Amino acid sequence: MSPVRAMVLDSPRTPLAETRVDDPEPGPGQVVGRVSACGVCRTDLHVVDGELPDPKLPLIPGHQVVAEVARRGEGAERFGNGARIGVPWLGWACGECRYCRSGRENLCDRARFTGYQLDGGYAELIVADERFCVALPAGYPDLQAAPLLCAGLIGYRALRMAGDAERLGLYGFGASAHIVCQVALHEGRRVFAFTRPGDAETQAFARELGAEWAGDSGADPPEELDGAIIFAPVGGLVLDALRATAKGATVVCAGIHMSDIPAFPYELLWGERSVRSVANLTRRDGDEFMAIVPEVPVRTEVTEYPLGDANQALADLRKGRFRGAAVLTVPR
């Protein structure tokens, strides 16, 4: 067995190092996948920047992993060798706690997350518990499928949490919003996109995808919103969104990390508005979302980086330098 090329985080706030790691062995119920593509998520940035506590170290980041099963551990029978799998953020849950037993494994206290507590997909190979892998829709090449695994999936969970809002605001129009926008339109909703002030390029991108209005995050949309999803990690956007919503609206915070939400007058929340977060995903979310993807059909817009350029991809994500989603690819 030969060493495996990987991009490794040795300590937070340092660049990933291109390293050779040992060829992984699958444990019982696990598969080893040969990675072809791995999406780059804002959560990866939060891990690298030390904004999420206690990552496994050293760590291989990445939790939007498209791979081909290369080897299987004892009892792993769900996928055959050569099958395509997706490895998402939720890598393991206990199955026994109150949350797991009530269909809320996304909230499991002992959950372990890919590219955070478990090594992820910024590498040639990945080990995954087969029970938490996702079957990907046929007809989506690996490169285009990768962003479905978190940007799409957690975006979809956030969309569900926004209820049946017809006029939907999306704050931060990156990887997740560009997918959610398509699903929302498919469901007959109307989309209003908010970007960093002055980001005319991203506003144009949102309009191309069917948003009926796009503007700066602080701007007033032409109509009140019935719901909003905040993808950007900026606490002040919660206030912008509340100001833009109609009575009864839900404002969903979809990210894992956000700067502090400033104090605000109760009047903004009054009228049965609510603010809530969305945490992680369940396997059921994965099954539901992957079934909807080809129906829409979702088209992901990706910018490809070779695995060795992971630091560049993260830097470009930080600056919002590309449209849609960044995906690392591993040449065969």
CB of 254 to Zn ion, least distance (A): 10
Residue 149 engages Zn ion in binding (rule: CB under 5 A): no
Binding mask 272-301 for Zn ion (x = CB under 5 A): ------------------------------
CB of 9 to Zn ion, least distance (A): 15
Residue placing its CB nearer to Zn ion in the complex, 48 or 214 = 48
**Residues in 23-42 at the binding interface with Zn ion, rule: CB under 5 A:** 41
Binding mask 85-114 for Zn ion (x = CB under 5 A): --------xx--x--x-------x------
Q: Which pair of tokens denotes residue 91?
A: 């890598």
Identify whether the C-beta of residue 175 lies closer than 8 Å to the C-beta of residue 182: no
- 241 closest CA partner among 318, 150, 169: 169
Residue placing its CB nearer to Zn ion in the complex, 153 or 225 = 153
Q: Which pair of tokens denotes residue 29?
A: 């119920």
Look up residue 29 and give its DSSP letter: T
**Residues in 196-225 at the binding interface with Zn ion, rule: CB under 5 A:** none
**Residues in 232-251 at the binding interface with Zn ion, rule: CB under 5 A:** none
Q: Which of 47, 150, 184, 254 binds Zn ion (CB under 5 A)?
A: 150
CB of 112 to Zn ion, least distance (A): 10
Residue 134 engages Zn ion in binding (rule: CB under 5 A): no
CB of 81 to Zn ion, least distance (A): 28
Identify whether the C-beta of residue 38 lies closer than 8 Å to the C-beta of residue 91: no
CB of 246 to Zn ion, least distance (A): 30
Residue placing its CB nearer to Zn ion in the complex, 63 or 84 = 63
CB of 41 to Zn ion, least distance (A): 3
DSSP per position, 300-314: --EEEEEGGGHHHHH
CB of 94 to Zn ion, least distance (A): 3
Residue placing its CB nearer to Zn ion in the complex, 120 or 137 = 120
Residue placing its CB nearer to Zn ion in the complex, 105 or 226 = 105
Residue 43 engages Zn ion in binding (rule: CB under 5 A): yes
What b-and-e string marks burial along 302-326, b requiring 16 or more CB atoms within 10 Å of the CB? bbebebebbeebbebbeebebbbbb
Identify whether the C-beta of residue 314 lies closer than 8 Å to the C-beta of residue 48: yes
Q: At what angle do helices 175-186 and 200-208 cross, to 10 degrees?
A: 30
Backbone phi, then psi, for 157, in 5-degree steps? -60, -40
Residue placing its CB nearer to Zn ion in the complex, 76 or 150 = 150
Residue placing its CB nearer to Zn ion in the complex, 105 or 124 = 105
CB of 262 to Zn ion, least distance (A): 26
Per-residue CA distances from 35 to 67, 80, 317 (Å): 4, 16, 21
- 69 closest CA partner among 60, 82, 54: 82
Integer Cα distance of 331 and 76 in angstroms: 27
Q: 80: helix, coil or strand? A: coil
Residue placing its CB nearer to Zn ion in the complex, 127 or 150 = 150
| Cβ within 8 Å of residue 145, ≥6 positions away | 37, 66, 86, 136, 137, 300
Integer Cα distance of 134 and 101 in angstroms: 20
CB of 39 to Zn ion, least distance (A): 8
> If binding means CB under 5 A, how many residues of this protein chain bind Zn ion?
8
Report the interface residues with Zn ion, using CB under 5 A: 41, 43, 93-94, 97, 100, 108, 150
